[in-house]
Structure formats: structure tokens, C-alpha cells
């Protein structure tokens, strides 16, 4: 794999459409009533741990949570951890909000716009773990600059994640996997933790599976699961 590439600058949002099919009546009601109570105002965040009603032991961040399967499973499995979920797609947000209401989940807070806005204002070393799972690959070369992973986004994540914390990335698009490895390796902040092939070919032990993963496997694509550790001392 060639590691030398020109640095890129994000010129447009990393996501595409904001809305799909019309929301069902209950979803629309939950979206209108619950999201305003859980929505994060980037300008008002001084300490992410204070976003939650009870004391939390750590704060984890998921960027582009899609239908919310992974975020929901993590929040239920880790009730003492606060979760921030970013997702601009209205239908995915509405689906998760319905689950939050039904299950009375209190350790999730949400941001429904470009995650880069939030990454730029969250306090330094305030996040213990970040997830980017099956992001839009923007496969056409002219659209590559719209991929979420960039030198800029990794710099921001390196600022937010505490030394020793982790960044997890999953994709079924080989080119995007290589793209991410290149940028993480040259960041001077993240260390890829894999020791052998099984470390990136098998999902994490706490991985609940997602509809995107299931679709990739049905269509014959093999996912990769990358874990990067935030180095104690950046190079």
C-alpha cells in the first residue's frame, strides 16, 4: 500500500441526503418532542460528562450512527458511560429516538448535524472512546474529499480522545480501509493495535452487528475492523 498522498482539506459535509422516506406519525412525534431535550448545543458544552443526568465514568462518541443499533447496544451494556451520538440523517435519528423513549435510556445525548462542528468544540481529552462504523465511502475519486476520515478529523479526534483511549473504525470498502490506515499512521497520534490478521478480520467482542454489516456480507464484501490507540505521547 502506498503511504504517500497529498493532504486533503474538507470542503463539503461528509454526509449526503438528510432525509429518506416520510416518518411515521409516532416517529415524527418523538423526533419533535424528544430530540430538543437530548440535542447538544456545541456552543454550550464545557464538560461532556455534565450532559447526563447522573454521574458517568467516561464519555464515548459515535460519529454517524446510522440506524443506531451499535449505539443503543453500547448504551444498554454500559449504563455508567455517557454516549454522544452524531447523525444528520433524520430517519436514523428518529429510529434511535423511538428506542430511547421505549427503553427509557438516559445515557445518550445527540447531535443532528455535521459531527465536525462538535469535534471542533468539545474539550481536549474529554472522550475515552470514539466510533466510526460503516461511514459513507464516497467511492468516486472526485468525492473522496467528502470522506469523514481526513488528516483534519484525525487531528481533532486525537485532541479529544484521552491518551490510552481508542478510536474504532469499521468498513466493508477496502479502499476506505486503506485510506484510513494511511491517515492514522501518519497522524503521529494514533497507533494501530493489530498484531495479526485476525485482529482486523473479526469484529470486536462487544460488537452487536448492524444492518450495514449484514448488507455488506450479503453482497459478498468482507468487513474490516480497525482499532487505533491514542498514544500517550504524540510523535
**Is 1 contained in some domain?**
no
CATH number of the domain that 156 lies in?
A: 3.40.50.150
List residues with catalytic annotation: 136
User: Are 213 and 137 within 8 A, CB to CB?
Assistant: no
Please give the pLDDT value at position 3.
36
**Is 6 contained in some domain?**
no
Its domain, for residue 69, covers 25-230
**Is 12 contained in some domain?**
no
User: Which of 169, 138, 144 shows the shortest CA–CA distance to 63?
Assistant: 169
**Is 13 contained in some domain?**
no
**Is 92 contained in some domain?**
yes
Q: Where are any strands of DSSP class E within the chain?
A: 58-63, 81-86, 108-111, 127-133, 161-171, 190-192, 224-230
**Is 216 contained in some domain?**
yes
Please give the pLDDT value at position 206.
96
**Is 11 contained in some domain?**
no
Please give the pLDDT value at position 99.
96
Please give the pLDDT value at position 234.
58
**Is 2 contained in some domain?**
no
Backbone φ and ψ for 45, nearest 5 degrees, come out as: -85, 115
User: Are 130 and 149 within 8 A, CB to CB?
Assistant: no
Q: How many domains does the chain have?
A: 1
Q: How far apart are CA 86 and CA 32, in angstroms?
A: 17
pLDDT profile of the chain (235 residues), mean per 10: 38 48 80 94 93 96 95 98 95 94 97 94 97 89 86 96 98 96 96 96 95 92 97 73
Amino acid at each position: 500500500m502506498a503511504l504517500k498522498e497529498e493532504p486533503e482539506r474538507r470542503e463539503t459535509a461528509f454526509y449526503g441526503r438528510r432525509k429518506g422516506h416520510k416518518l411515521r406519525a409516532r416517529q415524527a412525534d418523538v423526533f419533535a418532542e424528544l430530540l430538543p431535550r437530548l440535542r447538544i448545543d456545541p456552543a454550550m458544552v464545557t464538560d461532556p460528562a455534565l450532559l447526563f443526568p447522573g454521574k458517568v465514568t467516561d464519555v464515548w462518541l459515535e460519529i454517524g450512527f446510522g440506524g443506531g443499533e451499535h449505539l443503543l447496544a453500547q448504551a444498554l451494556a454500559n449504563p455508567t458511560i455517557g454516549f454522544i451520538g452524531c447523525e444528520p440523517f433524520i430517519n436514523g435519528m428518529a429510529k434511535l429516538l423511538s428506542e430511547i423513549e421505549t427503553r427509557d435510556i438516559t445515557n445518550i445525548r445527540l447531535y443532528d448535524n455535521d459531527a465536525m462542528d462538535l469535534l471542533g468544540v468539545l474539550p481536549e481529552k474529554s472522550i475515552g472512546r470514539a466510533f466510526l462504523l460503516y461511514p459513507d465511502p464516497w467511492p468516486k475519486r472526485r468525492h473522496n474529499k467528502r470522506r469523514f476520515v481526513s488528516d483534519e478529523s484525525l487531528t481533532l479526534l486525537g485532541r479529544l480522545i484521552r491518551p490510552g483511549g481508542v478510536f474504532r473504525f469499521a468498513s466493508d470498502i477496502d479502499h476506505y480501509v486503506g485510506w484510513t490506515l494511511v491517515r492514522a499512521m501518519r497522524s503521529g497520534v494514533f497507533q494501530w493495535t493489530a498484531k495479526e490478521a485476525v485482529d482486523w478480520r473479526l469484529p470486536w467482542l462487544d460488537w452487536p452487528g448492524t444492518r450495514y454489516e449484514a448488507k455488506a456480507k450479503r453482497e459478498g464484501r468482507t468487513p474490516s475492523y480497525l482499532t487505533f490507540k491514542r498514544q500517550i505521547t504524540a510523535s
